[in-house]
Structures are given as structure tokens and as C-alpha cells.
Structure 1
Amino acid sequence: MNETAQEYTAIKLIARPTGGPITDELFDIVTLARPALAQGELLVQQTHMSLDPAMFGWMSPDTESYIPPVALGDVMRSSGIGKVIESKHPDFQVGDRVMGLLGWTEMLKTDGQGLNKVQNDLPDEAVLSIFALPGMTATQGLFEVGKPKAGETIVVSGAAGSVGSIVGQLAKADGLNVIGVVGSDEKAEWITNELGFDGAINYKTDDLDAKLAALAPKGVDVYFENTGGPIQHAVFNRMNAHGRIAVCGLIADYAKAVPDLGPNWIQVIKKRLTIQGFTMPDHYGDIPALLAKLTPYVMQGKIKYRAHVLEGLPAAISGLNLFFTGGNQGKLMVKL
């Protein structure tokens, strides 16, 4: 998209999903005029837009969730990276790279609140894969909730996804035995051969209990939950005393009218387990500290990534369904 363009495309949410695949009928693709800026405002041209499982919650009508739902008629919420193409804001200059909640839009007029300047020279795909929402979520959940210790065993579900792959690599770098749960043999090979996980479980083809017993003979100390489903019960039953469970996502349940039942709480008492759900809107103020925590791992070459890039803003709609099928190969994003 040309920086001097006088029109841009955005996608608004106009209906709530009711279970099942995400379809075009939920959205309205609109063409808008380039906005004029007042003092203290800037205009961002988005280059790459992140697709994340959290979006299913943002589209729901649940007003008691951790963040208000996207209002019908509003531009769909998402994080992204872009560059400043016009500025009347003293803290942002034309050419600055920024990331934040930019939304499903090619351009965004903003007062700068919630925007973070990108302070490294990594490509946009790398920044969005590592330093945006996935990396912040992984760092917060692993270190602040999981509280890992060298020598412990951690199981990560959704381990080939954008968050899970970073969690596993951080844990491995800190000396843990890392087991990842994935949905294909290709993903299992990637997390073990490329990312350095100690073992992988294909939940679609492996005997979950038997494979978990073989890979974690001393039990599980930390469980980083991204998916829900049968693996949740298998891992829960092998948790060690004083184990920690960080509940980040439950993608297996998002498309169901009635979610699956969770494990029985008797084990929580017997094993004195700590189970904590967390979401990043509670920690936006911590992002500078989280970036400072994560950056050394990246600079030391301990964090690898791969991006699954879709082309063009409208691709976001059907692209969300890749989370349900497991068809995404790496961090899912849209190039604008």
C-alpha cells in the first residue's frame, strides 16, 4: 500500500460467531478515507497483522471476560507492526517502527497510547513472531506463573504454535526437560530437531498416557496449557506435588457450544497444585520488563521461529480457521 494513498481498507465485526468455522458473514470489508491528524496524533501504516487464538474470545458476546468484546460495527481487534507515515505527535517521528493493538486495518490514526517502538533491526515477521503478543505471553506465563526451575519437567500443549514454541525454547534454555504436544508428525519433528525440545507427543496418533509416562517418568512439574482436550487430563494426572499449571488458552473448546469438562479437583488438593489463568491485558504495563527479559535469549540465538504468512487483509477471515484445523505452520500473520 502506498504511503500517500488517500483511501485504505479495514474489516469490521458485524456479527458474533456461534460455533464452527469463521465465515465472511461475520465481517464487513470497508474502504475508508485517509484521516486527518490533530495535534498529538499520528498515522500508522500496518505492514504485518497478527492472527491469534485470543480473537475467538474477543469476538464473543462475553462481557465478563478479561477484556471487553469487540463491539459490533468496530474494526476487529488484533496486534500488529507498522511504520509511522505521518505524525503530529512529539514522541513519534515519520519512519518509526511501532507495534501494538492496531486492528484489522491498513491504516490507524492514534494518539500513541499502547504503542511500543520497535528497538531492534529484526525483520517485521520476526518481531511479530517473537516480540509481539506471542513472546510477551510466553514470557509472562512461563516465568511469572510457571516459575520454572532447572532440572524440572515441563509439558507444553500447542507446542508448535506461536506461544508454545517460545515457551518450550525458553524452558530448554533454562535447563528444563521439555515435552511438547502437537498435532502432526511434522510438527513433532520441528520442535525436537529444530527447537531442541526433549520429546514430542502427537495427540492425534500417540497413546497419550503411555507416551507421557515414557517422556516424563518422574512426573510433570509445570504444564503450560494452550489447547485443552484429552491431553489436559493426561498431564493433570501426572502432575507432581506443588506443580504449577499456567492456563493460557483452550483452543479445543472455543468452537464448542458446551466446553469439555475439566479434571477433577481432588488432585489439586492431593498434589497442592497451583493453577492460574492469565491474559496479557493485565500486564500491558509490564511489556518493557518482559521485552528486557526475552531479548537476551533472542540475541543469543536461543529462540527460533517460523512464520505462516497470508497475503492481503481479507485473508484474515478464513485464516482464523487454521487454528481449528492445526493447518498453520508457525506464527500466523497477514502481510498487508
Structure 2
Amino acid sequence: MFNVLLEDTMSTYKAITLVQRPHDRKIGPHLFETKELEVPTPKDGQILIKQTHMSLDPAMLGWMSEDRESYIPPVELGDVMRSSGVGEVVESKNPDFSVGDKVMGMTGWSEYVLSDGSGFNKLQDGVTEEMALCVFALPGLTATTGLYNFGEPKEGETLIVTGAAGSVGSMVGQLAKADGLRVIGVVGSEEKADWIVNELGFDGAVNYKTDDLEEKLTELTPDKIDVFFENTGGPIQHHIVNRMNTHGRIVVCGMIADYQADNPSPGPNWIPLIKKRINIRGFAMPDHWGEIPKILEKLTPYVQQGKIKYRAHTIEGLDNAEKGLNMLFEGKNTGKMIVKL
């Protein structure tokens, strides 16, 4: 009897689908539906992946929305919610993958994934699931692409990054520091300020919640700012733009402070942009999927040389994905947000 029950339990899995749009820009359980599905059997050329670790990212709010002019199509209602993750191949009828391989790719909010292998890459020996999602997945790819393709950092310059304790911001700052730049991070707590300065080696931190922004920026950037890597938006953006050097570069990666706002905050005055001939570039990683081997070639040596540290904020259980996503927007995470399944 026990064996029958066990076999029945193992034949189904959970997947969470998107059933409503976040019209009020708020994330809640009303947007999702948990389904119990039968575990599929791979056909020729396919693999079955049991997901073990799933990434939560601020971009998910945009993926849920109806916006069809964005850089990536929205998740359709009724489809499994989009996400990247790491899992183990448990069945394979694809000669390129073996049972036991650990793989990373777009998995979705699901305990199992059936795939032909497209878009999935095997983890290298010595790379843990957490390291894969914190460093070699979207955060590392985004940081490396934005910083080097558009930030054009040069030794001796000053870089400031918002969301500096986040998964992308912490990578940007460490890469720039390794290249000999002065690096200042903007964060929302003293704990995060302490981490980026004393653990990651940033030259200074601005707490946007408690510091006098203009005074603190003046103190920390005596030579002003050459590169501004923007992840958050918010009032400090205006102060940073006013502190930019001539021919400075602004890389706009995210605006998490505005994603849920009823009225997004106005942008900075454009007159200084003209006077100082500042280059502003918005970007999104889907434009650069074809460059991933080259991006990883750039990033990997920094990791191998021990120049990149990371930390994960891990929560347990697929059922807690929605709560974890809200933690990102509330600033309650203390590292890359990961769901351990």
C-alpha cells in the first residue's frame, strides 16, 4: 500500500501559472494559480529536469504586465510564470544531456521542466546552484554587459551604482573595483552599506533613506562621477546626474523604485546632459543573448581570481515564490533572491 501511495505522489508536480495581470502594480496571490500536473515522460530529443533552485527578479513584474512594446513579450495568462533556474536532469532522451547533469536555463515557476535542451547549459564543475544563479545567470550577465558595453569604465574613474547590495549592483561595483575605479554604492540600510564597503571593498556607501544625499555624494565623489549604473531610480538620481563629469556615461538597467508607483518620478533636468555631453543608454539582456559565450569569457576570470563575492537570500518552497518576489520590492532581501524547491 505504501509503495502504491509513493508512486502516485511521485507522478504529479506543482506549477504556478499567471491568471491575472497586476493592474494595480501590486503582487499578490490573486495573480497566480497553483496546478497539480502529471510528471511528463521525455520523447526522443527531450530531457526532464527537476528544478532545485529558482531565481526571483524585479523584471518579473514587467513580465506579468500587458505591455507588448517591452523588450520581451509578457507571460500569457494561463501560462507557467517565467523565471530562470537550476535543476537536475532526471530523465534524458537527448544525447547531449545525461541523467544527473546539473543545468541552468529558463525553467518557470515549476517543479519539473520538459525541454529539448535549447537554452539550457550544464553547470561547470565546482559551480554550485547558488553561484550559478548569483553570478553566472542574469545578474552576472547583466552587470557585465551593462558595465563594459555601455559604461566603458576606465582605471582611475569614479563609478556610482544604485541598488549596490543587489544581485546586479554588487557585481557591477566589484567588477569596476577590480578594474581600478573608485566605486560608490547607493543602498537602503546600514547593514547593506557595511556589507558593500567592508566585505565587497567599495570605497563608500550612500544610505538613501538616512543620508543628506547631496552632502554625502559631494563627500564621497571628490572627483565627481564618470559612470552611473542605475538600477533603482528615486530622488538620488537627480543628485547623481548633477554630479556627473563631462562625457560621463549613464547606464540605465532598472527602475525598481518606480515599477509599482502610481506616478513614476520625473527624470533629471536635461540641460546638464547637454552641457556635459553625457551619454545615456538603456538596455535589457534579451538583446544580448547571442553574446553570452563572450560575456562569460569576460566575467569568468574575475570569478576564478576570487574578485567576485556574492550572497543569496534563499527561501524554501515554490509556494513562497510570490512572497519572495514582494520582498524584492520591499527591499527586505539581503542578497540574490532564490527559491529552493
Q: Take 2:297 and 2:15, find their aligned partners in 1: how far apart are those partners?
A: 33
Decide which of 254, 259, 270 is 1:249's aligned counterpart: 254
CA deviation profile, 1:274-313 (whole Å, cap 9, x unmatched) = 1111111111111111111111111111111111000000
Query: Shift of residue 179 of structure 1?
Result: 0.1
Q: Which residue of 2 aligns with 1:117?
A: 122
Between the aligned partners of 1:103 and 1:13, the Cα distance in structure 2 is 11
1:265 to 270, 295, 318: 270
2:15 touches 2:35 (CA, 8 Å); kept in 1? yes
Deviation track 1:58-81 (CA, whole Å, cap 9, x = no partner) reads 011100000000001100001111
Which residue identity lines up with residue 225 of structure 1 in the other structure? E
* Comparing 219-228 and 287-296, the one that deviates more: 287-296
**Partner amino acid for 2:224?**
G
Match of 2:176 in 1: 171
Q: Residue 98 in 1 paired to residue 98 in 2?
A: no
Match of 1:298, as an amino acid? V
Q: How does 1:125-140 map to 2 (within 5 A)?
A: 125-140=130-145
Q: Write the deviation string for residues 138-196 of structure 1: whole angstroms up to 9, x where unpaired.
A: 11111111110000000000000000001100000000000000000000000000000
Identity of aligned residues (%): 64
Equivalent position SS for 1:148 = coil
State the secondary structure of the residue aligned to 1:180: strand
Alignment of 1:25-40 (within 5 A): 25-40=30-45
- C-alpha displacement of 1:20: 5.0
Contact 2:312–2:334 (8 Å) recurs in 1: yes
1:19–1:256 CA contact under 8 A, matched in 2: no
- Structure 2 residue matching 1:244: 3-state secondary structure: strand
Aligned to 1:17: 22
CA contact (8 A) 2:58 2:329 kept: no
Work out the CA distance in 2 between the residues paired with 1:140 and 1:273: 19
Aligned to 1:318: 323
TM-score by length of 1: 0.97
Partner residue in 2 for 1:208: 213
Q: Which runs of 5+ in 1 are unaligned?
A: none
> Quick check: which has more Rg, 1 or 2?
2
After superposing on structure 2, the runs of 4+ consecutive aligned residues of structure 1 that deviate more than 2 Å are: 18-21
Query: Cα RMSD over matched residues?
Result: 1.4
Choose the corresponding residue for 1:5, options 10, 31, 34. Answer: 10
Separation in 2, partners of 1:310, 1:152: 38
Number of the residue aligned with 2:49:
44
Counterpart CA distance in 2 for 1:190 and 1:247 is 24
For 1:155 and 1:274, the matched residues in 2 are separated by 15
CA distance in 2, matches of 1:290, 1:304: 18
Structure 2 residue 228 is the aligned partner of structure 1 residue 218 = no
Pick from 142, 146, 153 the counterpart of residue 147 of structure 2.
142
SS across alignment from 1:32: strand
Structure 2 spans left out of the alignment, 5+ residues: 1-5
Does the Cα contact within 8 Å between 1:79 and 1:100 map onto a contact in 2?
A: yes
TM-score (norm 2): 0.96
Q: Helix, strand or coil: the match of 2:10?
A: coil
Find 1:77's aligned residue among 82, 85, 92: 82
Q: Could you tell me whether the CA contact under 8 Å between 1:135 and 1:163 is conserved in 2? A: yes
Residue pair 1:251, 1:323 contacting (<8 A) in 2 also: no
Q: Give the letter for the 2:116 counterpart.
A: D
State the alpha-carbon separation in 2 of the partners of residues 20 and 274 from structure 1.
Answer: 30
2:290, 2:100 → 1: CA distance?
Answer: 25
In structure 2, the residue matched to 1:68 is 73
Is 1:192 matched up with 2:189?
no
d(CA) in 2 for partners of 1:120, 1:291? 15
Counterpart amino acid of 1:320? L
**Aligned ranges for residues 263-302 of structure 1 at < 5 Å?**
263-302=268-307
1:232 pairs with one of 237, 246, 264: 237
Code of the aligned partner of 2:162: S
Note the C-alpha offset of 1:94. 1.2
Q: What's the secondary structure of 2:34's corresponding residue?
A: strand
Distance (Å, rounded) in 2 between the aligned partners of 1:91 and 1:129: 25
In the alignment, the residues of structure 1 paired with residue 148 and residue 106 of structure 2 have an alpha-carbon distance, to the nearest angstrom, of: 24
User: How many residues are treated as equivalent by the alignment?
Assistant: 335
Deviations 1:194-226 (A, max 9, x none): 000000000000011110011001110000000
